[in-house]
Amino acid sequence: MNNIGAGITIIGCGSAAPQNKLTNVHLSEIVETSDEWINSRTGMRTRHISNKTESLSQLAADAAQRAIADANLSPTDIDLIVLATSTPDDLFGSASKVQSLVGATRAVAFDLTAACSGFVFALITASQFIRTGVYQNVVVIGADILSRWVDWSDRTTCVLFGDGAGAIVCQASQNSDRLLAFEMHSDGSQNACLNLPYQSQSKSLVPGITTQYGTYKPVTMNGREVYRFAVAKVPEAIEKAMFRAGLVVEDIDWLLLHQANQRIMDAVAKRLKLPPEKILSNIAEHGNTSAASIPLALDAALKEGKVKAGDTIATAGFGAGLTWSAAIFQWG
């Protein structure tokens, strides 16, 4: 196609989550904690956990199929699939598998890894393919199964994470541009604050030559530093994006943040001088689902009738890397 200078509309949304729910009460049977302790510090009450037969690829495909149907498109209309995930089924990537499961036979697909910032990074990446006229219909998916990489004896992390997937459909438009502005940042000097590190062992091949093999260790996090980082950097990124969009706080209908912790979301809203009723949150139901959390919360808000066509949404992802990003868009 030749659609250079196209704008972006967001025309469909869908989500998927495993059936199994792990409650705070369940967690109190695993580690020394309580429903009151978890909820008061995080805002979480349950999280969905994948069983041994559920895959990241299928969760992502289910969310994508629902988003495509919501956009009144067919899978063969899709030109590109961008899968934001840190937990693929295959270390080489899961996007191509998702493309096959969806039936998007015309689409190219690739994975993007930016942890909890992944969905916003993927949305911004997808927008460049649309604006340069390369693709017309793009599916952006955020999906993670972090329960695979949780230390279930560590009460500081095991209470936080859940599994899920969410997706949106972005479409080229000559008449409007609904992605109004964005910001992206990275700071590798703080990488150690949130990790899922590889741990290797040496293996001798021949005299004088060794290689390494191993696996990944469970998630580790310095919660205090991550909180400080998020509360300082996220409002700043959103304010910069609003400035680029020519908007002020009063123009924002909804604040849609990565669902890491309710206290973080409340603190960001307070710094932006946004009332708490403008925060979109489903953290009580899903916990922290990493790259999936923003589209999961968006889909829930749409189904509840909160978000309506034309609403202006300030969204931000933040997490491992450390990375953070913000985008201002209008729904529909």
Q: CA 139, 141, 193: angle at the middle one, nearest 5? A: 145
State the DSSP code for 321: T
Query: Could you give the CA distance from residue 250 to residue 274 in angstroms, rounded to a whole number?
Result: 8
The whole-number pLDDT of residue 6 equals: 83
pLDDT tens digit sequence for 170-211: 999 998 999 999 999 999 999 989 989 889 999 999 999 999
- Do residues 232 and 187 touch, judged by C-beta distance below 8 A? no
Question: Residue 232 pLDDT more than 70?
Answer: yes
* Model pLDDT, residue 223: 86
Strands 254-257 and 312-319: parallel
Looking at residue 49, its pLDDT comes to 98
pLDDT average, residue stretch 98-108: 98
User: 171, exposed or middle or buried, with CB in 10 Å at 0-12, 13-18, 19+?
Assistant: buried
Which of 216, 262, 234 lies closest to 319 in space, CA to CA? 234
pLDDT in tens, 16-57: 999 999 999 999 999 999 999 999 999 999 999 999 999 999
Going along the chain from its start, the domains and CATH numbers come out as: 7-177 (3.40.47.10), 180-188+220-280+289-330 (3.40.47.10)
Q: Is 185 a catalytic residue?
A: no
Reported as a pLDDT band with limits 50, 70 and 90, residue 1 is: very low
- pLDDT given for residue 2 in this prediction: 52
User: Quick one: pLDDT band at residue 130, thresholds 50, 70, 90?
Assistant: very high
Residue owning tokens 């009738």: 305
- CA proximity to 86, closest of 126, 125, 144: 144
Q: What is the largest CA-CA distance in the chain?
A: 69
Contact criterion met (CB below 8 Å) for 192 and 220: no
Cα 74 to the chain's mean position, in Å?
24
pLDDT of residue 5: 67
Catalytic residue, chosen from 258, 261, 282, 286, is 258
- Stretch among 75-89, 144-158, 209-223, 262-276 having the lowest mean pLDDT: 209-223
Q: Tell me the pTM.
A: 0.95
Q: List, for residues 259-272, the tens digit of each pLDDT value.
A: 999 999 999 999 99
- Give the CA distances from residue 42 to residues 104, 178, 322, in Å, rounded to whole numbers and listed in that order: 38, 32, 20
SS3 282: coil
Active site residue 2: no
Catalytic residue among 24, 48, 116, 261: 116
Quote the distance between the C-alpha of residue 305 and its chain's center: 21
Query: How many other C-beta atoms lie within 10 A of the C-beta of residue 111?
Result: 22
Of the ranges 34-43, 55-64, 214-223, 286-295, which one carries the lowest mean pLDDT score? 214-223
Tell me the pLDDT band of 294, cut-offs 50, 70 and 90.
very high
Q: What is the mean pLDDT of residues 220-249?
A: 95
Amino acid residing at 322: L
